[in-house]
Amino acid sequence: MKKTKYFLLLSLIPITTFLIGLWMGDVNTSPSKGLHETGSAVIPAMTNIIDSTVADQLSYTFEKAAERISPSVVPIFAEEEVTLESPYGKDPFRDFFGDDFLKRYFGAVPNQRETVHSLGSGVIISTDGYILTNNHVVENAKKITVVLEDEKKYPAKVIGTDPQSDMAVIKIDAENLPTALLGDSDNLRVGQWVIAVGNPYQLMHTVTAGIISAKGRSNIGLAQYEDFIQTDASINPGNSGGALCDLQGRVIGINTAISSPTGSSVGIGFAIPIKMARGIMKQLIDNGKVSRGYLGIILQNIDDNLVKALKLNNAEGALVGDIEAGSPADKAGIKRGDVITQFDGTNIKSSTQLRNLAARTQPGSKVKVTVIRGGNQKELSVTLGERPQKMAADQPSSKTLTNQLENTLGFELQNLTPDIAGQLGYNKEKGIVITSVASGSAAEDAGLQSGDLIKEVNRREVSTVAEFNRELSKIKKGDSVALLVQRGPNTFYVGIEVPLS
């Protein structure tokens, strides 16, 4: 791929410089001895133009961007005490030989407290010492040290951390520090040039270059709130908390993680958008914690089967799979099965987008929410609550959000008896229980499990297997059916295609 890019650049340069030469009058277009023999009279002039107008300007752009950002990106050294546990459990040799013997001949003593050193990066955001970094860089650290560009070392204290987004703010006691210019992550373009600055493998102030590979990456599994910028700029261990910048030297993301089978860069890196980081940073500095808006609903994306089964126009929006009783959404009149298409004036494309928008909204704010219910559009007003700090992720961790179905349902059902309801925790519930799921079936692909309770078929309640079969018989072969499923305390929707035979 890189060879192709270089080839395209080189193939365009002679045409460009030739046109520049025509405009400047430097290229002799008439037949001449020099041109006909080897072109030696023309090529040196073209080479000079290339050097001065294309290569130098491009290089200068990267140089200035690196020059602007590098002084404000600092290494962060963290020390953490850990317990070294024996892989064999309680070690009988330790009591007999003692710790000195084990440390001398084996290098470590099992179950001994030792200090582990780690290195990350941070971005200076104020002249008086506030530094933005990742939570995992400073989490559980007993001692944090920041080293500035002039090699002066400063102890740092944690101002606040936010594990749900993997952000943190620390501070050193210093003045007149070089600060980073924070850019705009909302208007980034895929393919845009960027540079990453950090301290990979203890190689201080390393600058790498690449492009933005994708935007809005989520469901990576790195944090509860994800809206990552993906880049192929080389990011390695030690880059965490460093800066991802545009070619103006403005920070547009905080480097966080890589996807790699080896632990080293393979061109898939992720950065937290600076707009998200900036809002979290302000709350951590002002309050020492992050308060997030809370709707109290479980959201899921809409696949093609659910579009057909629920008779929707398209797959855009966020489907409400469940609602917490007494939550802000419940009080506002949002119902299970609603499709939220707008939140505070923003069109909703996916459940992740809605989660992030709600989280960024100040608790207590009143916002307009547009929903599709039964084919009709409704506008509701919701006053957001505050999300509990230690609350689990609010969408089901199953494959129901990304179904890839085949031509069979692939599960067996049983009526819900009092004994089964007591065993599965479905007391006072109505529905039918899945007793088994065939391996490799559409049901398994959809994430259905033994013990799930089917409550509805295409929005119609079912209490017996006979009712389920009756509702299923109304569905044409090849069409999709929407099942409302309860697992534990939560419900969610699953779309499955009815087999053709």
Positions marked active-site: 136, 166, 240
Helix (H) or strand (E) segment spanning residue 360 = helix 351-360
C-alpha to C-alpha distances, 216 to 229, 268, 400, nearest whole angstrom: 6, 14, 21
- The whole-angstrom separation of Cα 185 and Cα 277 is 10
DSSP codes, 41-63: TTHHHHHHHIIIIIIHHHHHHHH
| Strand, coil or helix: 94 | helix
If we measure between CA atoms, which residue out of 215, 230, 241 comes closest to residue 268? 230
- The whole-angstrom separation of Cα 70 and Cα 194 is 14
E strands in 56-186? 73-84, 112-124, 130-134, 143-147, 153-162, 167-172
Instruction: Work out the angle between the directed axes of helices 274-287 and 351-360 (0-180°, nearest 10).
Output: 30
If we measure between CA atoms, which residue out of 442, 470, 468, 440 comes closest to residue 456? 468
> CA neighbours within 13 Å on the CB side: how many for 236?
16
Which residue in the block uniquely carries the two structure tokens 């294309």? 54
Q: Which residues contact 103 (CB under 8 A, 6 or more apart)?
A: 109
- The whole-angstrom separation of Cα 74 and Cα 32 is 59
C-alpha to C-alpha distances, 72 to 62, 150, 177, 357, nearest whole angstrom: 16, 11, 8, 30
Q: Which residues contact 150 (CB under 8 A, 6 or more apart)?
A: none
- SS3 percent helix, strand, coil of the chain, rounded to 5, is 25, 30, 40
Which residue in the block uniquely carries the two structure tokens 């509805």? 456
Contacts of 262-266 with C-beta under 8 Å, sequence gap 24+, read 263/237, 264/236, 264/237, 265/234, 265/235, 265/236
If we measure between CA atoms, which residue out of 387, 371, 448 comes closest to residue 413? 448
Q: Within a 10 A sphere around the Cβ of 320, how many other Cβ atoms? A: 26
Return the structure tokens found at 397: 């961790």
Phi, psi of 254 (to 5 degrees): -110, 115
**What's the residue count for the chain?**
501
DSSP codes, 269-326: EEEEEHHHHHHHHHHHHHHSS---EE--EEEE---HHHHHHTT-S-S-SEEEEEE-TT
